[in-house]
Amino acid sequence: MRVGVLTGGGDCPGLNAVIRAVVRKGIEVHGWDFVGFRNGWNGPLTGDSRPLGLKDVEDILTRGGTILRSSRTNPYKVDGGVEKIRQVLADQGVDALIAIGGEDTLGVAKRLTDDGIGVVGVPKTIDNDLGATDYTFGFDTAVSIATEAIDRLHTTAESHHRALVVEVMGRHAGWIALHSGLAGGASVILVPEKHFSVDQVVEWVERRFEKEYAPIIVVAEGALPEGGEEKLLTGEKDAFGHVRLGGIGTWLADEIAHRTGKESRAVVLGHVQRGGTPTAYDRVLATRFGLHAVDAVADGDFGVMVALKGTDIVRVKLSEATAELKTVPVERYQEAEVFFG
- State how far the Cα of 126 lies from the Cα of 279, in Å rounded to an integer: 12
Q: What is the pTM of this model?
A: 0.90
pLDDT for residue 172: 86
pLDDT for residue 229: 63
Dump pLDDT digits (tens) for 168-208: 999 889 999 999 999 999 999 999 998 899 999 999 888 88
- Pick the catalytic residue: 11, 33, 104, 127? 127
pLDDT for residue 336: 59
- State how far the Cα of 255 lies from the Cα of 213, in Å rounded to an integer: 19
List of the chain residues with pLDDT < 70: 228-246, 332-341
- Is 127 annotated as catalytic? yes
- State how far the Cα of 57 lies from the Cα of 64, in Å rounded to an integer: 13
Contacts of 155 (CB under 8 A, 6+ apart): none
pLDDT for residue 154: 87
The alpha carbon of 120 is separated from its chain's Cα centroid by a whole number of angstroms, namely 19
Binding residues for Mg(2+): 103
- State how far the Cα of 335 lies from the Cα of 238, in Å rounded to an integer: 35
pLDDT for residue 331: 73
- Strands (DSSP E) along the chain, which ranges? 2-7, 33-37, 49-52, 96-101, 119-123, 163-168, 188-190, 216-220, 232-237, 243-245, 264-268, 304-309, 312-317
pLDDT for residue 96: 97
Binding residues for diphosphate: 10
199 within 8 A of 226, measured Cβ to Cβ: no
Length of the chain as a residue count? 341
